């Protein structure tokens, strides 16, 4: 497992096989890269964690609160939720909730054959709206796609199984995209302009930030990773998201810092070093500038 003990690190990282083991299941072959489950599988995540996979689910019974990057979302029957890798996830213990879920490893998602030019603009909406409400019909239609994936995963694997599952996943993603188009039409405040080269850079910037924010906080670093100038990166990120590069970097770092301060037994100095600050003083100044309070004040909050 890619984690230390809970006393050493608050944010545990789970791979898909480890997630299966938590549910008392054992994966092999394709089921180590993709799983579906209907109602009988619920995940109890009372402490913040990251799952190295994409999770799409639709509530089927009950309701609960899910904390996604420190924001609470109430999900219930016919709520659709999408959680991406590198995001911090936590569920409320003790509540009755079941969902039909599709979980796909990052590696498998990268191999899926989809037209990102058409589907990515609407999928990016989930960054700001990870949970939306579906109609009963939409819920049933999307779950039917999940069931087809699950049916193939339960079939003895052959040399064509990966292609079949890959195509079914592509179809599922297109269906989800279709549902999201409806949501965007009904919620025009979330509508985005058509996909452009700048948006492709933005998507890659967010991906790079998710991987490197603990070590790198400079605009120049991410511009270099994208092979563009810092000025161009600054301009396009502001135009597309309404936030500056620095604001995005600060959001990732502060979210991580708050989670560690709230849930771990790490000292403030240890957290500072884990987030690559030269010392506790620099970290304290940075944290207070972004939150209005010192790390110790935040840690002392109930």
> Mean pLDDT across the stretch 188-212?
75
* Domain spanning 197-300: CATH 3.40.50.2300: no
Q: What share of the chain is helix, strand, coil (3-state, %, to 5)?
A: 50, 20, 30
12-190: CATH topology is Jelly Rolls (2.60.120)
Q: Is the pTM of this model over 0.85?
A: no
Q: What is the predicted pLDDT for the residue at 240?
A: 80
- Distance between CA atoms of residues 257 and 250, nearest Å: 10
- Size (the chain), residues: 302
Question: 3-state class of 74 per DSSP?
Answer: strand
User: What is the spatial distance between Cα 51 and Cα 90, in angstroms, rounded to a whole number?
Assistant: 11
| C-alpha–C-alpha distance, residues 37 and 58, integer Å | 11
Residue 115, phi-psi category: left (phi > 0), alpha (psi -120 to 50), beta (remainder): beta
The string of pLDDT tens digits covering residues 141-174 is 999 999 999 999 999 989 999 999 999 999 999 9
12-190 against 197-300: fold identical:
no
- List the structure tokens of 43: 């995940």
**Do the strands 97-105 and 53-68 form a parallel or antiparallel pair, or are they unpaired?**
antiparallel
* All structural domains of the chain with their residue ranges: 12-190, 197-300
pLDDT-derived band of residue 202, with 50, 70 and 90 as boundaries?
confident
205-218 average pLDDT score: 91
Residues 229-249 have a mean pLDDT of: 89
**pLDDT exceeds 60 at position 302:** no
Per residue in 13-30, pLDDT tens?
A: 888 888 777 766 766 788
């Amino acid at each position: 497992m890619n984690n230390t003990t809970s006393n050493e690190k608050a944010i545990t990282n789970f791979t898909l096989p480890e997630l299966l083991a938590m549910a008392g299941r054992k994966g092999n072959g394709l089921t180590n890269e993709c799983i579906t489950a209907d109602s009988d599988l619920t995940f109890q995540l009372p402490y913040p964690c990251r799952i190295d996979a994409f999770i799409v689910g639709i509530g089927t019974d009950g309701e609960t609160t899910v904390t996604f990057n420190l924001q609470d979302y109430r999900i219930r029957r016919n709520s659709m939720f999408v959680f991406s890798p590198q995001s911090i996830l936590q569920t409320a213990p003790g509540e009755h909730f079941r969902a039909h879920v599709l979980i796909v490893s990052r590696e498998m998602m990268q191999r899926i054959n989809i037209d990102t030019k058409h589907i990515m603009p609407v999928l990016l909406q989930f960054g700001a709206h990870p949970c939306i409400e579906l109609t009963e019909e939409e819920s049933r239609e999307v779950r039917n796609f999940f069931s087809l994936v699950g049916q193939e995963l339960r079939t003895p694997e052959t040399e064509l199984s990966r292609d079949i599952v890959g195509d079914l996943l592509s179809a599922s993603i297109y269906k989800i995209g279709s549902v999201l188009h409806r949501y965007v039409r009904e919620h025009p405040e979330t509508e985005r302009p058509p996909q452009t080269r700048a948006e492709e850079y933005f998507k890659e910037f967010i991906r790079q930030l998710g991987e490197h924010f603990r070590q790198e906080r400079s605009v120049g670093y991410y511009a270099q990773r994208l092979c563009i100038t810092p000025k161009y990166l600054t301009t396009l990120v502001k135009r597309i998201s309404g936030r500056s590069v620095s604001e995005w970097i600060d959001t990732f770092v502060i979210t991580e810092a708050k989670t560690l301060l709230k849930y771990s037994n790490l000292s403030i100095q240890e957290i500072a070093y884990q987030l690559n600050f030269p010392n506790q003083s620099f970290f304290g100044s940075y944290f207070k500038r972004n939150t209005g309070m010192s790390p110790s004040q935040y840690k002392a909050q109930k």
